[in-house]
């Protein structure tokens, strides 16, 4: 989920083969904040490299996420926009209890059919989260960047499988990017 969040925030293509569904549940996903009321922390480049620090921990908002005002020095110019560290449940837009149940089912040993359905459901939820947050990220970029013009980045998301002989965790979430320019024709 964290890797998918990074892909969204950086307009990056991705191939993610998820496994270990119950590991690292404490990690947070960076998402667009979209103007929600919150504490905003100014993060410089050194702090970004070091990850969450003491100042970040003091900026926890009511939903458990952490908000940042950060620079985005990518191809879209030097943009400043609000970001939020969200729980995985917030990222997926679901209740924490439901997510925990799905994670447990995805890790069932000895019942591959049940585990496979849970893994596919989690992958579908993740694909949906990427699509939803990619759209929010694109809205923020278009509002804040004059040099972007009518350029947009479309995202094609799919879930693919590979032979189970390689791994029982044989699902991949794939995101392909395509830049389009909306030109007016007279």
Name the DSSP letter for residue 94.
Answer: S
pLDDT band at 153 (very low <50, low <70, confident <90, very high): confident
pTM summary value: 0.69
Is there a domain that residue 108 lies in?
yes
The closest of 80, 176, 182, 181 to 131, measured between CA atoms, is 176
Please indicate, yes or no, if residue 93 is contained in any of the structural domains.
yes
The residues, any chain, with a CB within 8 Å of residue 143's CB and separated by 6 or more, are none
pLDDT in tens, 96-127: 999 999 999 999 999 999 999 999 999 999 99
Under the banding of pLDDT at 50, 70 and 90, the label for residue 135 is confident
**Residue in the block written with tokens 């560290």:** 85
Rg (CA), the chain: 18
Which letter does DSSP use for residue 98 in this model? H
Mean pLDDT value across residues 5-34 = 90
In a domain, 163, yes or no: yes
Among 4-13, 60-69, 159-168, the least confident range:
60-69
pLDDT exceeds cutoff 80 at 150? no
Average pLDDT over residues 136-157: 67
Could you tell me the residue range of the domain that residue 59 belongs to?
2-181
Domain-embedded: residue 186 = no
Identify whether 176 is part of a domain. Answer: yes
What's the pLDDT band for 147 if we cut at 50, 70, 90? low
In the chain, the percentage of residues whose pLDDT exceeds 70 is 63
Number of domains into which the chain is organized: 1
Residue 166 has a pLDDT of 92
Instruction: Write the DSSP symbol of residue 47.
Output: H
Q: Within a domain: residue 105?
A: yes
Q: What are the tens digits of pLDDT across the range 35-92? A: 554 434 444 444 444 444 443 443 333 334 444 444 444 444 333 457 889 999 999 9
33 band by pLDDT with thresholds 50, 70 and 90 = confident
Instruction: Share the mean pLDDT of the chain.
Output: 76
Question: What is the distance between the alpha carbons of residues 38 and 40, in angstroms, rounded to a whole number?
Answer: 6
């Amino acid at each position: 989920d964290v890797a998918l969040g990074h892909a969204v925030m950086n307009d990056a293509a991705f191939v993610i083969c998820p496994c270990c569904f119950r590991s690292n549940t404490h990690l947070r996903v960076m998402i667009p904040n979209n103007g929600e009321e919150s504490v905003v922390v100014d993060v410089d480049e050194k702090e970004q490299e070091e990850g969450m620090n003491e100042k970040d921990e003091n900026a926890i908002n009511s939903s458990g996420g952490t908000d940042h005002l950060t620079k985005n020095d990518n191809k879209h110019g030097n943009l400043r926009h609000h970001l939020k560290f969200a729980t995985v449940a917030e990222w997926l837009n679901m209740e924490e209890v439901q997510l925990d149940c799905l994670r447990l089912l995805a890790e069932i040993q000895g019942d591959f059919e049940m585990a496979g359905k849970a893994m596919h459901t989690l992958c579908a939820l993740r694909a949906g989260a990427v699509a939803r947050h990619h759209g929010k990220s694109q809205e923020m970029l278009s509002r804040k960047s004059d040099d972007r013009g009518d350029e947009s980045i479309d995202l094609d998301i799919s879930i693919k499988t590979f032979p189970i002989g390689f791994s029982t965790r044989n699902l991949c979430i794939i995101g392909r990017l395509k830049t389009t320019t909306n030109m007016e024709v007279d």
